[in-house]
Amino acid sequence: MGSGKRSLTTAAMALACACACAVLATPGVAYASPTPTPAPTRTPTATPKPVSNKDLEAVREKLEKLYHDAAVATDAYNAAEEKAQKQSAEIVDLAREIVKGQAKLDKLQDRAGAAARAQYRGGGLPPGARLWLSDDPQEFLDGAGRVRQGEHATKGLLGEMTRTQQDLEQYEKDASAQWRKLEANRKAKAEAKKKIKQRISDAEKLESQLEQKEKERLAKLEEEAAHQAQSVWLSSGVLADIKSEASEQGRKAVKYATDQIGKPYEWGAEGPKTFDCSGLTSQAWASAGHPIPRTSQEQWKQLKHVDVTDMRPGDLIIYFDDASHVGMYIGDGAVVHAPRPGRTVTIAGAGSMQILGVVRPDA
């Protein structure tokens, strides 16, 4: 009996639920709305913490390091490019020598073949037999003389053929060696190019993380650092000792370099629209009729060193311990130079960067 009551109760509850669902599903039936869910409370957006001068100074030093590394790699790229151009020209010259040598060898071989055929036609009889058969001893002696002359000529011809063959072999060895060097320089260029792009990309990424106001403060810090370095350099009294005037070629070089002010920096560029640091100085002196090495490191190695107090407009100031940057002295304690990516050819204080030394292209 108890279990029967429980079954009836369960069935009644199921029926009540079904009826309730049917009522709620019937159109036009009004029912109370559920209590609305309260909107989530919004947390106020935190104002970005201003970047301190200490942090910006760290950014400035990091950027300086990245762009310095890019400059070193640019010098390596330019050096490999210059070597590759020379090696390509040498390979072309050697190829021409090989062609000329082969043509000469072909002619010598033709002459040697003609001489051999002539000797064959003259017969291979020994001199005694030819004298016995000759009616005129003088004719025999004359003929013997001509034979000796022919033998000497043939020996000389064979000797010349041997030397020509040796020259050809040497040209081919030299060409192969130059080709191997060319391939090595191509690999060096590719590695340098990869490093340049990576360093510049890292620097640009670092700068892009700064707000506009922070970028302006960073630029101010860069100016202050350059001004301080220039002030220290000038306070040494160095400018008072610099009295030399530019040479005629130096004036032409300075004019060319200052005419490029405002043009963008581009690594590996030698103008006319963009320049890197040594591209500017090398082209300036080339325009003055005095070609100099392409890279700042080779300019430092190959050109005559002069004391800072003896420098004159047109001289080149080499910067940093690794000679990775160069500018042209224009007088009054200033240089014109192509600074780095993102900058243009400009005038700066000669002492605003670490000076390694001064070189004179037209010494």
Catalytic residues: 277, 325, 337
Distance between CA atoms of residues 168 and 162, nearest Å: 10
CB atoms within 10 A of CB 297: 20
Q: Could you tell me whether strands 325-331 and 316-319 are parallel, antiparallel, or unpaired per DSSP bridges?
A: antiparallel
Residue with tokens 């500018």: 327
- Interior angle at CA 220, CA 218 and CA 226, nearest 5: 105
Distance between CA atoms of residues 92 and 242, nearest Å: 47
Residues 63 and 206 sit within 8 Å (Cβ to Cβ) = yes
Distance between CA atoms of residues 307 and 331, nearest Å: 15
Q: Which of 188, 190, 215 is nearest to 63 (CA)?
A: 215
> Edge-to-edge strands of the sheet including 316-319?
304-306, 355-360, 316-319, 325-331, 334-337, 346-349
Distance between CA atoms of residues 361 and 296, nearest Å: 12
Q: Which of 59, 63, 79 is nearest to 322 (CA)?
A: 79
The CA R_g of the chain, rounded to the nearest whole Å, is: 44
- Interior angle at CA 197, CA 191 and CA 198, nearest 5: 90
Phi then psi for residue 102, to 5 deg, are: -65, -40
